[in-house]
Amino acid sequence: MTTTRVRLLAFAALCASRVAAAAGAPSLPLPVETGKVESVQLGEAREFWVSLPDGYRDGAQRYPVVYMMDGEINFNSGCIGGLRLAAQMGEIPELIVVGIRNTDRSRDIFPEVVVYPDGSQDGGRADKFLDFIRDELIPRVEATYRTAGYRVLYGTSNTGYTAVYALFRSPSLADAYVAASATLSIPSFREKREALVKEFKGGRRRLALVMGERDLPTVISHNGILKELIDTSAPPGLSCRLAVLRGEEHVPPNSLVEGLRAVFEGWKAAARLDDEALAALRARMEGSPAPVADRP
């Protein structure tokens, strides 16, 4: 663990202790819950993990949901702790986090089979994987937990591409999409991206692209191109935020927090996600693009 990350974790612990002290005796954090879907779309069982807000059992409030791909990588105490801290600081609302565990990641990331120069290949099942999330996993989660009807899809690196692909293929799957260091150099996507942006008919949707200042050159260039295309060519309703994190490399550790800060830009800590608040949040997605983030 780097010195910078150790300091960030220590700072997070300090802030969390101060918030807890100010609030009196807090309820204990809820344990992770597990579930499994026998997927007809994929012909296999898919496991998922759920992290609920600390106060979930204390009331009847409904919460937005983050559907996190690469669950066994991204669904960890550091990432989720960062979300909880950001919510305590009033930067984003409290969230339900659903981590989707991989079975065969290489098949699920691309819609078509991609062959690399060394002869290896990935992809071929992304369409079925996204249909599983939309038609099987989301209904299961929404029937089980108090959800607010606002969804975020999150992916990293190759599943960052999957998140961007989902935005254009199945925009109703989520209200917002967060892609960290998305690998957007896939030839089929490069060929279609201009048309995908100009002909987008998915309504109000927000894309947050996050990458490191020292990220892979192809990630930096192709994410920048997509951001520019959306800013200049997208129909009303589709917006994009781009956060370049100073000193970071591929998939910065705080990518999800930074992406959600962009998604919930203008969030008020006292607001509750009732129908009126959700309508206002969606309306803000049509605002003008924000400048590139430059956080330490």
pLDDT digits (tens, 9 = 90+) for 173-218: 999 999 999 999 999 999 999 999 999 999 999 999 999 999 999 9
If phi > 0 it is left, if psi is from -120 to 50 it is alpha, else beta; for residue 147 that is beta
Q: Map out the domains of the chain as residue ranges.
A: 32-284
Is the pLDDT at 49 greater than 80, yes or no? yes
CATH for the stretch 32-284: 3.40.50.1820
- CB of 174 closer than 8 Å to CB of 152: yes
pLDDT digits (tens, 9 = 90+) for 140-169: 999 999 999 899 999 999 999 999 999 999
Q: What is the pTM of this model?
A: 0.83
Is the pLDDT at 47 greater than 90, yes or no? yes
pLDDT digits (tens, 9 = 90+) for 82-130: 999 999 888 999 999 999 999 999 999 999 988 888 888 888 899 999 9
Is the pLDDT at 136 greater than 50, yes or no? yes
Quick one: pLDDT at residue 268? 65
DSSP string, 34-59: EEEEEETTTTEEEEEEEE--TTGGGS
- Let me know how long the chain is: 296
Quick one: pLDDT at residue 29? 63
Positive/negative CA dihedral, 245, 246, 252, 253: negative
Alpha-carbon gap, residue 12 to 74, rounded angstroms? 18
Q: Helix (H, G, I), strand (E, B), or coil: what is residue 99?
A: strand
What Rg value do the Cα atoms of the chain yield, rounded? 19
Mean pLDDT, rounded, of the chain: 86
pLDDT range class, residue 296, cuts 50, 70, 90: very low
Alpha-carbon gap, residue 110 to 129, rounded angstroms? 10
- CB of 245 closer than 8 Å to CB of 293: yes
Query: What distances in angstroms separate CA 250 from CA 18, 169, 182, one per listed residue?
Result: 32, 25, 9
Phi, psi angle pair for 28, to nearest 5°: -70, 145
Of the chain, the percentage scoring pLDDT greater than 70 comes to 80
pLDDT digits (tens, 9 = 90+) for 51-86: 999 889 888 899 999 999 999 999 998 999 999 999
- CB of 124 closer than 8 Å to CB of 113: yes
